[in-house]
Amino acid sequence: MLLRRITQHVKNENWFAVTLDFIIVVIGVAVAMMGQQWLSERDQRQNTIQAEIVLQDDLRRNYFNAKERVAVSKCRIEAYQSILQKLLEPGEEWIGMRRSTEGADVVSYNTALPNILRSPSRTWGSNNWHAELARGTFNSMEVDRRNRIDGLFRQAEHAQKLQREIYTLQGRMKTLAFTMRIDQQDRLRYLDTLGEMDLKSGLTELIAGQIATNIENTGIDLSPEVIMQGNEFVTAYNKSAQNIYGDCYVPFNFNAITESNQQETQP
């Protein structure tokens, strides 16, 4: 209808009316575009809010993983040193080593052979981060913070890779739980495996410490309820872990994150 009216005005050479109709069309298009942009920005904000909620959960999970890995570092070193000393003993007689789950109220994996070493097995990294980053969801995030988060998740993925490799190596040590005869060649083979595990475990603990520090510096948005629940969970976990690992276990907490969060929320 508007096009028909414009055509009629042109035929009648009513240029004022033509100009007015043109202005109306331009304004209509501009309003429509502005409305579409507003809707798009609203959807983008909503997507960012939802993605940020998942991101906070991933940051907390990786922070727990990192703190836990550092907490068992001393136990891991003591266990490796104990195995090393036994493997360096002369002779071929081998007395089976204590199982890692003996004396502890833990749920064991459904395996036929016992584990003599016990390392935490966790899910590191964040699939959500990489997916939303590729979609541009976090484009509005401050650049320095975005780069820090991206870097720490890449570190976490490296820790995940090392964890899988350590578990594969630990599986080769299971037979040391049994009393048997081990000749010199087999002892050297176990020593090589132990050395590789020690290298990868030390690197994992180093990365874990860096991840924890990076997350503390980046900051996590914690509500008072989440802080309380987190502290309760960590307290219970520390108690359970001490039953599993013994006195070598170093209890940890979320105080660094809690203090950082409180400072950010202070007026």
pLDDT of residue 68: 95
Q: Give residue 135's domain range.
A: 2-265
pLDDT of residue 11: 57
Give 234-254 pLDDT, tens digit per residue.
999 999 999 888 899 999 987
**Percent over 70 (pLDDT), the chain:** 72
pLDDT of residue 198: 97
Domains held by the chain: number = 1
Provide the Cα torsion 247, 106, 117, 82; round to 10°.
30
pLDDT of residue 48: 59
pLDDT of residue 75: 94
Q: Write down the pTM of the prediction.
A: 0.77
pLDDT of residue 17: 57
Which whole number is the average pLDDT over 102-124?
Answer: 70
pLDDT exceeds 50 at position 169: yes
Give 200-220 pLDDT, tens digit per residue.
999 999 999 999 999 988 877
Query: Which of 62-66, 78-82, 214-218, 254-258 is predicted least confidently?
Result: 254-258
Local confidence band at 15 (pLDDT 50, 70, 90 cut-offs): low
Give 118-155 pLDDT, tens digit per residue.
888 899 999 989 988 888 888 888 899 899 999 999 99
Which whole number is the average pLDDT over 36-42?
Answer: 52
pLDDT of residue 36: 60
Local confidence band at 42 (pLDDT 50, 70, 90 cut-offs): low
Distance in angstroms (rounded) separating the CA atoms of residues 189 and 177: 16
Joined tokens for residue 196:
């590789």
Cβ-count burial 165-199 (b if 16+ within 10 Å, e if not): ebeebbeebbbbbeeeebeeeebeebeebbeebbe
Q: Tell me which DSSP letter residue 176 carries.
A: G
